[in-house]
Amino acid sequence: MESVNQLQRKLAEYTASLYNEKILDEQFVQLQQLQDESNPDFVVEVVSLFFEDSERLLNELAKALNQPNVDFKKLDAHVHQLKGSSSSIGAQRVQRACIAFRNYCDERNVEGCLKCLQQVKNEYNLVKNKFETLFKLEKQFVDAGGSFPVV
């Protein structure tokens, strides 16, 4: 059983790496700040919602691109949504991928869109994994008796 300090260190390192790799940005920090006694699971809730939303949107996007006549407007709307969600969370790389996606939509470039979709999916899966690991570490830490400093 690792000590609280060790866990804390691990958590800090992991979090730091997320920022360093630009997977998460400042917005996530803001999110964490919003978590307080009245809202203890705020971050987890928001992230869960993000997962649901994103998966839905990705499915829609795949479906839309499979159509013979691609409705770029709808495509754009979905990507816009995904972009908004990811920026609210602070998932920086997903957001960037979405921006690239939108450019191809504007150009009505199906090939490009397909490529971008794949990119977005990859990034999304990456950030999903990272979040899950992060939450696991946090749970471990809290269970070991650690506590986060209250802002």
Partner 1 sequence: MGSLQRMNRLLSSIVDSCNCIIDPQLPADDLLMKYQYISDFFIALAYFSIPVELIYFVKKSAVFPYRWVLVQFGAFIVLCGATHLINLWTFNMHTRNVAVVMTTAKVLTALVSCITALMLVHIIPDLLSVKTRELFLKKKAAQLDREMGFFRTQEETGRHVRMLTHEIRSTLDRHTILKTTLVELGRTLALEECALWMPTRAGLELQLSYTLHHQNPVGLTVPIQLPVINQVFGTNRAVKVSPNSPVARLRPTGKYMPGEVVAVRVPLLHLSNFQINDWPELSTKRYALMVLMLPSDSARQWHVHELELVEVVADQVAVALSHAAILEESMRARDLLMDQNVALDLARREAEMAVRARNDFLAVMNHEMRTPMHAIIALSSLLQETDLTAEQRLMVETILKSSNLLATLINDVLDLSRLEDGSLQLDIDTFSLHALFREVLNLIKPIASVKKLFVTLSLSSDLPEYVIGDEKRLMQILLNVVGNAVKFSKEGSVSISAFVAKSDSLRDPRAPEFFAVPSENHIYLRVQVKDTGVGISPQDIPNLFSKFTQSQPLATTNTGGTGLGLAICKRFVNLMEGHIWIESEGLGKGSTAIFIIKLGIAGRANESKLPFVAKLPANHMLMTFQGLKVLVMDDNGVSRMVTKGLLTHLGCDVTTVGSRDECLRVVTQEHKVVFMDVSMPSVDCYEVAVVIHERFGKRHGRPLIVALTGNTDRVTKENCMRVGMDGVILKPVSVDKMRSVLSELLEHGVVLES
Binding site for partner 1 (CB under 8 A): 26-27, 30-31, 33-34, 36, 38-39, 42, 45-46, 49-50, 53, 76-77, 80-81, 84-85, 87-90, 151
Whether the CB-CB separation of 73 and 64 falls below 8 Å is answered with no
Indicate the residue among 15 and 102 with the shorter CB distance to partner 1: 102
Smallest distance from partner 1 to CB 127, Å: 13
Smallest distance from partner 1 to CB 27, Å: 5
Indicate the residue among 12 and 34 with the shorter CB distance to partner 1: 34
Listed as own residue / partner, the contacts of 113-116 with beta carbons closer than 8 Å and 24 or more positions apart are 113/65, 113/70, 113/75, 114/65
Nearest to 28 by CA among 100, 127, 102: 127
Indicate the residue among 21 and 26 with the shorter CB distance to partner 1: 26
Mind giving me the DSSP string for 60-107? HHHHHHHSSS--HHHHHHHHHHHHHHHHHHTBHHHHHHHHHHHHHHHH
Smallest distance from partner 1 to CB 8, Å: 12
Smallest distance from partner 1 to CB 143, Å: 22
Q: Residue 19 belongs to what H/E stretch?
A: helix 4-20
Indicate the residue among 42 and 115 with the shorter CB distance to partner 1: 42
